[in-house]
Amino acid sequence: MKNYLTASISASAVQHNLQELRKIINTGVQLCPVVKDNCYGHGLSLLYPTLAKHADGFIVASPSEALEIRSYGYTGFILCLLSAYFDETEIQEELIRQEVTQTVMSKAALEAVAGAAKRCQKTAPIHLKIDSGMGRLGVTASQAKNLFSLIEKNPHIQLTGAYTHFASSDDPDATYMHQQLNTFLDTLPKNNALIRHAANTSALIYQPDTHLDLVRPGLSVYGCHYAEHLRSKIDLQPCMSVHAQIIAIKKMPSGSFSGYGRTHQYLRDSRVAVVPIGYGDGYFRSLSNQAIVHIHGKPAAVCGRVSMDQMTVDITDHPQIMIGDPVEIISADATAPNSVENLAKIAHTIPYEITCHMGRNLYHKLVD
């Protein structure tokens, strides 16, 4: 962790986003945020109190994330999306003891969870993952009937829910998503009492018929939009801003260059600040010569290639800027040129990748 790189996290923004999401979902539907990869890089330990207060449960990817939440004293619903059958038996058994609901997406996963439950002399709650068209994890509709039968016969397994995942819920044309939804619902046993869920953020906002019994919002919880056409549907507040400090200022004569490959040439005598952040910290190399940062509210262009742990910005037009001044790398203003979403557009990637990468080396702190 680099203490001179700070991610400032707003719990009030997360609370606002959860309240806005709650306004959209159908009455009685459980709101369970996805907190995998350290809350998409925003910091699970910092945001846990707010999330636990305003959500109905947690969705995690890995066993370690589930056990981390239990270590905070949380006793409610946790769904682990990835089974622990490739982990050591101690982890499998601890998930059972901690009453974490596990995903079963294959016969092998079912056998692993059932074996751990038997060793613990307990019954394991599970949700069955059905692949309705994502082509990733989950049993197909044709495989599901046999697995439902095996689950019903196993005394150490309690099937409490079933879910699927949409491949293109952000597409304005919802035809394929509804094909997936229908495949999923048709696969389930008739007159079942299962918790059914399918909706991620885009489906939650755009398609109320996908809400079913539980929704799984992800990046929207932290204030980011993924699909532009959904922006007008909900008022989200980004919860993270990222700051560094200027560590050096150089005078660069006209005609000189900055960075590897000499990709930026100064066309006038220039004043350049060195900022200690780079692609090793999650600030993408593809932002070289394109992105903007803010210093005292003034825009400064990234000039030259972004290095592993340094980059240079042109401050020629801002003579008042000095060594030690704070640099806003990412703004919590969604309209700013250095917002997560705008940086993702420049880097030809998605906001998820920006926040997940930026969250790893930075010191996280709550600001409210």
Active site members = 36, 260
CA angle at 246 for the pair 242 and 248, rounded to the nearest 5° = 155
Q: CB within 8 A of 270, min separation 6: which ones?
A: 251, 252, 254, 314, 316
CA distances to 30, 33, 310 from 131, rounded to whole Å, are: 22, 21, 43
Taking CB atoms within 8 Å and a gap of at least 24, the contacts of 102-107 are 102/126, 102/127, 103/79, 103/127, 103/128, 103/129, 103/137, 104/128, 104/129, 104/147, 104/151, 105/129, 105/131, 105/137, 105/138, 105/139, 106/139, 107/147, 107/150
The Cα–Cα gap between 202 and 228 comes to: 10
What's the token pair of residue 153? 């016969």
The Cα–Cα gap between 270 and 253 comes to: 6
* Adjacent-strand bridge partners of 34: 59
Q: CB within 8 A of 313, min separation 6: which ones?
A: 272, 273, 275, 293, 295, 300, 301, 302, 303, 327
CA distances to 145, 187, 189, 326, 328 from 141, rounded to whole Å, are: 7, 6, 11, 55, 49
The Cα–Cα gap between 322 and 249 comes to: 7
Burial class (CB within 10 angstroms; exposed 0-12, middle 13-18, buried 19+) of 204: buried
Tally Cβ neighbours within 10 Å of residue 67: 17
